[in-house]
Structure 1
Amino acid sequence: MSATKYRKSWWVDFRFNHQRYRKRSPENSKTGAQAYEALLRNRLAKGEDPFADDKKEVETFAEFSKVFISTYAESNNKPSEIRMKKITLKAHLIPFFGKYRLDEISSRLVEQYKFNKLGSGLARKTVNNHLAMLSKSLHIAQEWDVIDKLPAVKLLRVDPPGFDFLSPEDSELLVDSIADSQWKEMIFAALKTGLRLGELSALDWANIDFRNRVLTVKKSYVRDTMVSPKSNKYRYIPLTNELYEMLNKTKQKKGLVFPDANGNPLRPERCRRQLHRFCKQAGLRRVGWHMLRHTFASHLACKGIPIKTIQELLGHADLKVTLRYAHLGSSTLQQAIQVLDKPVELNYFGQPVPNQEQISTKITMPVDNRELAYLPNIKQKQDDSPV
């Protein structure tokens, strides 16, 4: 019998007349899978359709997407993620895949979707976001036994994203140009901690440990809702001396660190407008709050801080995202390449040596009352007396 267990489910997997048959067992147990295989083999021996009784009406993608959102997304995703899923489904995926049954969505159909979306002018990264959601919904359909197999969903190749950041001089100029103390502190904190705008807006005085000089990121303010940080994990940011002194002067027992006049989180639109105004005052190009985060990471990389450390400070789940800053810490790379500028000398054993002086050690051995001196030039030292 060829009953096998795969991802907590029992399957039958066998060959009959050189054709492979693979199917999930209706009864999720080894005994059930073995009995199901025997039934299929019996049907095949009689020339019958082995899966005649198993065929069922599969939902269309449009029908399943409603269940996907109401059941899976509502239970596992943040409000902002649910909102984006609904927008993507309504504007893109359902108009294309909606009429097809889930088991009719093939790899060829997915490739056609990619071709159409690229032709409409969408960015490759945007199309990949669509494909990721399509793939997730199909995987959930398989887990729920709606479909048996999945089409191959291959993501598009995307160039690494570019980014900009402020120089240390421009960063200082920006902060010095701000008269309002709260805005000055908020922008300075962004430059010295790398917090996202939503994380700064949600920062509470209770999240700052002044004794140990550590800030804990626990919440983020996104679309009028307090949610967990993007990585769904707390992270701990040590305070610089300057930031510690600045916050220590205005610290409170409780409440938001950077609230509006009513004690509520600052609206993202207002934060963006203020930052643009401060840039104009300082004579700098217009930058966004996320560029302040890039500036934090870029300055660390330029100082030679390991990429793994920068990843932890930024809260990136994937190191690949942090690697965009790797080229900025070029001093180590330059030192490695400069080694090639130095001439490489070989000793008489064929090994590289830094210089000739380091191999001037004389090795002697007696041979007929004479000494053979093994020097780098392989010269034999002999007695002046005649033999």
Structure 2
Amino acid sequence: MVKRQGAKRHNDRSSKKGTTTDGRRKNYLSEKEVDRLIAAAKKSGRYPLRDGLLILMAYRHGLRISEALKVNVADIDLDRHRVWIERSKGSLSTEHPIAGDELRTIKKYLADRKSAAPQLFITERGTPMSRQNAYDLISKAGEAAGLGHVHPHMLRHSCGYHMASEGVDFRTAQDFLGHTDPKHTAAYMRINASRFNSVWGRR
């Protein structure tokens, strides 16, 4: 009887909006939620292309906000569909592929902006965006999208959890996110229940 009550409490917690199955507050967004966030940013801000691209790149490449704001125009190779990711906090820097929809957005943004500033993400005055600029626009977009409080680092977490749910192997995910300590990657991989599928095989 006690065990059944315990299971019920666990199930009740997992059903609460904004929490994970073990009752912790959810700190990532699904792919559809990221799409909603981008759409809201494009509607609620004065610079829809820039704001949408910032969110998209932070999500697609698992960027800390400081890393996203460090991306320079020269780091992007439009011909090879590649971007150089300069990691922070001692993480491993590497080159990432750019998907087709992301590439098209980058091209539109570069064609639209009127500045020769080296930084990819700039203000209307042509100065680099600050962390506070990015925090404010993402937070505002989260509220507009009906997602509640969204902060920039949730986009990095969202990338990690997306890779886990897609079954990306551990080492690839670790390298992609620039983790030097595998325990940080393991935190994402724990949600992927399908990794146990081969334990007993087909019965």
Q: Same fold (TM over 0.5)?
A: yes
TM-score for the superposition, normalised by structure 1: 0.41
Is residue 2:99 matched to residue 1:231? no
1:354 maps to none
Higher RCO (Cα < 8 Å, 6 or more apart): 2
Contact persistence 2:85–2:94 (CA under 8 A) = yes
Contact persistence 1:193–1:239 (CA under 8 A) = no
Structure (1 or 2) with the greater strand fraction:
1
Q: Please, which of 65, 73, 94 is the counterpart of residue 205 of structure 1?
A: 73
Contact persistence 1:177–1:281 (CA under 8 A) = yes
Distance 1:237 1:285, change over 3 A: same
1:329 Cα shift?
A: 2.6
1:255 maps to 118
Counterparts of 1:280 and 1:308, CA distance in 2: 35
Q: Calculate percent identity across the aligned residue pairs.
A: 23
User: Is the partner of 1:165 in helix, strand or coil?
Assistant: coil
**Residue identity opposite 1:209 in structure 2:** D
1:232 Cα shift?
A: 5.7
Q: Which structure has the bigger radius of gyration?
A: 1
Counterparts of 1:337 and 1:294, CA distance in 2: 30
Structure 1: 5+ residue stretches without partners: 1-160, 220-228, 343-387
Q: Please, which of 319, 335, 338 is the counterpart of residue 182 of structure 2?
A: 319
Structure (1 or 2) with the greater helix fraction:
2
Instruction: For 1:1-387, list aligned pairs within 5 A.
Output: 164-179=27-42, 180-218=48-86, 229-231=88-90, 233-251=92-110, 255-337=118-200, 339=202, 342=203
Counterparts of 1:330 and 1:211, CA distance in 2: 38
How many residue pairs get matched? 171
1:338 Cα shift?
A: 5.4
TM-score for the superposition, normalised by structure 2: 0.76
Q: Which runs of 4+ in 1 moved over 3 A?
A: none
Contact persistence 1:196–1:290 (CA under 8 A) = yes
Counterparts of 2:75 and 2:156, CA distance in 1: 19
1:162 Cα shift?
A: 7.8
User: Is the partner of 1:328 in helix, strand or coil?
Assistant: coil
Deviations 1:276-321 (A, max 9, x none): 1111111112111111000011111101001111111111111111
**Residue identity opposite 2:96 in structure 1:** I
Counterparts of 2:84 and 2:25, CA distance in 1: 29
1:196 Cα shift?
A: 1.1
Distance 1:232 1:188, change over 3 A: closer
Structure 2: 5+ residue stretches without partners: 1-23, 43-47
User: Is the partner of 1:251 in helix, strand or coil?
Assistant: helix
1:216 Cα shift?
A: 0.5
Distance 1:311 1:240, change over 3 A: same
**Residue identity opposite 1:263 in structure 2:** G
User: Is the partner of 1:237 in helix, strand or coil?
Assistant: strand
Distance 1:298 1:233, change over 3 A: closer
Contact persistence 1:255–1:263 (CA under 8 A) = no
User: Is the partner of 1:284 in helix, strand or coil?
Assistant: coil
1:260 Cα shift?
A: 1.5
What is the CA RMSD across the aligned residues, in angstroms?
2.1
Counterparts of 2:34 and 2:132, CA distance in 1: 22
